[in-house]
Amino acid sequence: MSKVAAIIGGGVIGGGWAARFALMGWDVRIFDPDPEAERKIGEVMANAERALPMLYESPMPARGTISWHGTVAEAVEGADWIQESVPERLDLKLKVYKEIQAACEAGAVLASSTSGFKPSELQEGAQRPEQIVVAHPFNPVYLLPLAELVPGAASPETVEKAKGTLTAIGMFPLHVRAEIDAHIADRFLEAVWREALWLVKDGIATTEEIDNAIRYGFGLRWAQMGLFETYRVAGGEAGMRHFMAQFGPCLSWPWTKLMDVPEFTEELVDLITDQSDAQSGALSIRQLERLRDNNLVSILRALKGQEAAAGRLIKDHDATLRRPLGDGVPLVTVRRTVPVDWVDVNGHMNEGRYGQVFSDASEELMAHVGADRAYIDAGNSYFTAETTVKYLAETLVGEPFIVETRVTLGEGKKLRLWHEMKRASDGEVLATCDQFLLHVSLETRKSCPPLAPVLEAVERLAKAHKEASDG
């Protein structure tokens, strides 16, 4: 039975939550009085459905349903998780909580997306303060994994349930141990934002020059190392202590204006707006979102390949989505979506990536017969000796596909596989691969017979697949 998430407030953040939950298999119930909310969330869903599956090698869960409800009470009825993302007005939030708690299950997690209020403020006067937490995400919620989890007076049971749910949908719950205004991440962002406003106001830099300073410099380091680890490396072999000794004195220099706020005048707003329009106004918001998502997918996949930072989180979550192959003929060895970093100058999947797809399919088959990671670590494996790949149709970015695999030969050291890569939407064959492998000893790097359990499994599969083909 699917779990149910209720989304109260369907703006940019609420829509992102809806997409994240739905694509992770939850049924989503939405309340938002905005007459345009369904269209707006539909556009967010379209972006999410294209981008999020690109991060995973494993198949995504079956998408949950999305339904629209005319009242808060109707939306939260029976929900396991309730995400409040209404405008940042405390009186409105408290009013909404009364409506929610009058209708929701006592054991549901009631989480707020707020960046501006502490949980103690949200729990004030609540019917069940112990079920309310802050779960502050970052846009786009369906791609960025961080959620600042701030408990306040929430019960330990609620906190653990919240951590478990966020982890299960591929997010990273950062447990903020003590509540503070703006939590953790937004305090950094506010400091950078404040200094950026001064630099523009004082004519030191334009909005584009400031963005370039971030995206071509320290922003790339922060994406994979954060702040303190970056500075630890900057300290050289002597590490953080040397960095602190070298740069600590500059903290007393009048470099920044972090404690001084520029007057927020119409002139400043116009200056910032005009520069921002000149910088990126040629692109619509939807085009900018698509560009942002493409870049994030590529960066996150690169980190995933190195098992670093957010990439390690995605790799671990990916493993929880894997499905056993079962006993069907053919075996579906790959279910995934073409990621943006696989596309070449012609706008379709590069031929080299087909080799990776079929290699992934053979590795799944190997694991299925017992030649898994433990088997390989013990010194045995299969090496590919020959492949013949045929490209039959274009494969485009964002397209879901599967690979069906048959064992056409399995005897002694020899293993031969026939792979068919098919578009998931209509079953059209996109490419085929005839792959011949030999079993080897990783110690001698020469061919040798498989261990008995693997050989028996290979022979059994080869027989079953031959019988199915002959039948």
Nearest 5 degrees, angle CA 434-CA 438-CA 443? 145
Question: Looking at this protein, which amino acid is placed at residue 420?
Answer: E
- pLDDT of 358 reads 98
- pLDDT of 40 reads 94
- pLDDT of 133 reads 98
376 pLDDT more than 90: yes
Please provide residue 336's backbone torsions phi and psi, each rounded to the nearest 5 degrees. -165, -175
Q: Per-residue pLDDT averaged across 189-198, rounded?
A: 93
Region of poorest pLDDT, from 4-18, 80-94, 215-229, 440-454:
215-229
Q: Per-residue pLDDT averaged across 280-293, rounded?
A: 92
Region of poorest pLDDT, from 20-24, 88-92, 264-268:
264-268
Region of poorest pLDDT, from 127-136, 244-253, 292-301, 426-435:
244-253
- pLDDT of 253 reads 78
- pLDDT of 243 reads 84
Q: Which residue has the higher pLDDT, 58 or 249?
A: 58
307 pLDDT more than 80: yes
- pLDDT of 379 reads 98
pTM of the full structure: 0.91
- List domains and CATH numbers for the chain: 4-175 (3.40.50.720), 185-282 (1.10.1040.10), 323-470 (3.10.129.10)
Beta bridge partners of 149: 135, 175
Q: Per-residue pLDDT averaged across 421-434, rounded?
A: 98
Contact 134, 114 (CB under 8 A): yes
Task: Give the Cα separation of 324 and 331 in Å (integer).
Answer: 10
Region of poorest pLDDT, from 141-145, 168-172, 258-262, 443-447:
258-262
Q: What is the number of residues in the chain?
A: 471
- pLDDT of 250 reads 78
How does residue 293 score in pLDDT terms, banded at 50, 70 and 90?
very high
231 pLDDT more than 90: no
301 pLDDT more than 80: yes
Per-chain mean pLDDT for the chain: 95
The dihedral of CA 114, 112, 155, 310: what is its sign?
Answer: negative
Task: Give the Cα separation of 7 and 25 in Å (integer).
Answer: 15
254 pLDDT more than 90: no
378 pLDDT more than 90: yes
Contacts of 278 (CB under 8 A, 6+ apart): 208
258 pLDDT more than 80: no
pLDDT one-digit tens code per residue, 348-374: 999 999 999 999 999 999 999 999 999
Contact 198, 271 (CB under 8 A): no
Q: Per-residue pLDDT averaged across 371-383, rounded?
A: 97
